[in-house]
Structure 1
Amino acid sequence: MGLGVSLSLGTGLAAVGFTGFLAFSALLPTAQPAWGEPIGPDATQVLSAESVSSTETTTATIEDPLGQNPLYANGELGEVTCRPPQMDADDPKSVETFVHSIADCLDAAWGAYFEEAGIPFSSPNRVYWYAAGNSPCGPFPKEGTAAFYCQANQGLYLGVEDIVAASAGSDEAEAYTFLLSHEYGHHVQGQSMILAEFRSLRANADEETADELTRRNELQANCLGGVFVGSAEESLGYGKSERANILNSVGLRSDHAGTSTHGSVENGRLWTAHGLDRLDPAACNTWEAREELVR
């Protein structure tokens, strides 16, 4: 990390090292962040030895990562017990404690699911920042970027104060829960080899096809985020109003003003609700969905 960077390092239930997540872009008005695409392993910058503890490399032999992934054959995620502390959006330490708690729940839930599915799994690294620094995927923060997922070191990078500012100071805990769950969905994609296959296909695609592949990728992360939140909502105490807030947040972070990489408001909400209701990653196979469902 650069000099002067303040990092808060934390480990989840199964985490090795620290974590970081959520990539936001500045494509939307009123400072609302868009879902960020995970940054690939082709970045040139490298974190110093002091910045990153050992990251386990997951290897899995999956013949058809998009169409017949073992992730889709394991049934529902199962009930998740998650009881994070109350969050005060005006208190950065409270926000940090809250997101660590949600990350612990995500680690436990998805770690157990991958084990049952017979797919190797390692929890993402957490990197929570309060000041500028560097990652293998580039410097942070950038304009309009509150956090991001870096596949190069399986890192979930999160600006503790930046995510609150990017959400206009919202004190709705469910919005932050879903933001984390969506970005963690990209880690789920990475661990199940979906990201690798997606990037391979996109590398050889024309612009229109590349955008469609990116939308399928982002909409799947919406759905996987919904699977987690739906599985945990009883313990979280979420009801109709919290679901409405989540879907409203998704709408704000869908494609607007000529962008074409995150899906329409309708489709963003559709796939999120699908995950919330079905609770099964098999319901999130956007890669084989009809084209009109991923516009």
Structure 2
Amino acid sequence: MKWRGRRGSRNVIDRRGVSAGRAGGIGGVGLIAVLVIGYFLGIDVTPLLNGGGVPVQSGESRELSAQEQAAGQFVSVVLADTEEVWGQVFPEQLGRDYRPPQLVLFSGRVASGCGGASAATGPFYCPSDRRAYLDTQFFATLQGRLGAKGDFAAAYVVAHEIAHHVQNELGILGQVNEAKAAAGERERNALSVRTELQADCLSGVWAHYAEARLGTVEPGDLDEALNAARQIGDDVLQRSAGRTPMPHTFTHGSAAQRQDWFARGYERGAVEDCDTFAASRP
């Protein structure tokens, strides 16, 4: 992905200048399995870890490393690209203006309009304050532990969280939350899967225009995004955590589903192709 030296967004709030400490606890494969569950199933697993390997803010300021600074610049550029793409797509396809979100970079723990969260929660979007939240250390987990390598795989993660903001702007998240409140566990999980797959599709819409209009997509980038979509499929993650995949517990969709919906969005760049809720099978 062509990102170095390009314009960044002014909507990044960097809270990483607070040092984080780590306490002892679960190690090795056990820690990885628990973190995988937390990152992608939307669960804050901090209590399960008993302090093991989860950063906790100490309140002491610190200098950001060169790697952290580069990660922050990268996120800022990707966020700027989403602003440009959705700023064009909204009036062209939806007949309305796009209001971009803020993106908060944090290290260890963070407070949001949706409550407190830790690094174990993974990247998330909070509709209450219209902000996306990301611990940039997640990129190392994405590449090293989950096998989703490449800068476009990381860009896909950012684009996915911004896609949740797009859903929020369109009133979709509010409707889903209302439906969840009246549903049982299986139905809530099914609604979550359709919500996440739609975000994957909208990420594909972003990738379509990032390539067609911004010219930032390089050979191999789409393969990186599709591989990332596969590696974070619920079935793959449950196997990685030593569990037998149980579709009724999925909250984000299988690897095949996530790849398929991203590809649908990318193919034409049409928001109308991303209606996972109208599909007989997501």
TM-score, normalization: structure 1?
0.67
Measure, in 2, the Cα distance between the counterparts of 1:212 and 1:218. Answer: 10
Contact 1:227 1:275 in 2 (8 A): yes
Q: Kindly indicate whether residue 255 of structure 2 is the aligned counterpart of residue 260 of structure 1.
A: no
1:153 aligns with 2:129: yes
Give, in angstroms, the shift of residue 226 of structure 1: 0.8
What is the match of residue 94 of structure 1? 70
Question: Partner of 2:144 in structure 1?
Answer: 168
Moved over 3 A (4+): 17-20, 26-33
**Matched residue SS, 1:201:** helix
Higher relative contact order structure (alpha carbons within 8 Å, sequence separation ≥ 6): 1
Would you say the 8 A contact 1:228–1:276 is kept in 2? Answer: yes
Amino acid at match of 1:282: E
Go from structure 1 to structure 2 and tell me whether the alpha carbon gap of 1:266 and 1:29 turns closer, same or farther (over 3 Å shift): farther
- Cα shift at 1:176: 0.7
- Does residue 138 in structure 1 map to residue 109 in structure 2? no
1:12 and 2:9 correspond: yes
| Secondary structure of residue in 2 paired with 1:282 | helix
Q: Residue in 1 aligned with 2:225?
A: 246
**1:114, distance to aligned residue in structure 2 (A):** 2.1
Within the alignment, does 1:200 sit opposite 2:190 as a pair? no
Over the aligned positions, Cα root-mean-square deviation in angstroms equals: 2.9
1:51-86 CA-partner distances (Å, limit 9, x unpaired) = xxxxxxxxxxxxxxxxxxxxxxxxxxxxxxxxxxxx
Q: Structure 1 residues 282, 269: CA separation in 2 closer, same or farther (over 3 Å shift)?
A: same
Q: Distance in 1 between matches of 2:209 and 2:34?
A: 32
Q: Is the 8 Å Cα contact of residues 41 and 251 (structure 2) preserved in structure 1?
A: no
Q: 1:198 to 1:263 in 2, by over 3 A?
A: same
Displacement, 1:227?
0.8
Contact 1:34–1:252, Cα closer than 8 Å, also in 2: no
TM-superposition CA deviations, 1:138-160 (whole Å, max 9, x none)? 223242x2321111100111112
Extract unaligned runs of 5+ from structure 2: 1-7, 16-30, 44-64, 239-245
The structural deviation recorded for 1:93 is: 0.6
- Tell me if structure 2 keeps the 8 A contact 1:124–1:156: yes
Q: Is the 8 A contact 2:107 2:119 kept in 1?
A: no
Amino acid at match of 1:237: V
Contact 1:27 1:34 in 2 (8 A): no
What is the aligned partner in structure 2 of residue 40 from structure 1?
Answer: none
**Which sections of structure 1, spanning at least 5 residues, go unmatched?**
1-10, 21-25, 38-88
- TM-score by length of structure 2 reads 0.70
Contact 1:120 1:191 in 2 (8 A): no
Which one of the candidate residues 256, 270, 279 is aligned to 2:269? Answer: 279
State whether structure 2 residue 206 is matched by structure 1 residue 216. no
State how far apart, in whole Å, the 1-side matches of 2:199 and 2:251 are: 13
Q: Take 1:276 and 1:139, find their aligned partners in 2: how far apart are those partners?
A: 34
Higher relative helix content = 2
Q: Which of 143, 159, 169 does residue 181 from structure 1 map onto?
A: 159
The DSSP-based 3-state class of the residue aligned with 1:122 is coil
Residues 1:243 and 1:201: Cα distance change in structure 2 (over 3 Å): same
Whether the 8 Å contact between 2:85 and 2:210 is mirrored in structure 1 is no
Work out which of the residue numbers 203, 206, 231 in structure 2 matches 1:225.
203
Q: Which amino acid aligns with 1:246?
A: A
209 and 146 in structure 1: CA distance in 2 versus 1, 3 angstrom threshold: closer
The residue identity in structure 2 corresponding to 1:223 is C
- Residues 215, 28 of structure 1: CA spacing in aligned structure 2 closer, same or farther, 3 A cutoff? farther
Instruction: Report what 1:107 is aligned to.
Output: 83
CA separation of 1:123 and 1:18: change in aligned 2, threshold 3 A: farther
Taking the aligned partners of 1:121 and 1:243, their CA distance within structure 2 comes to 25
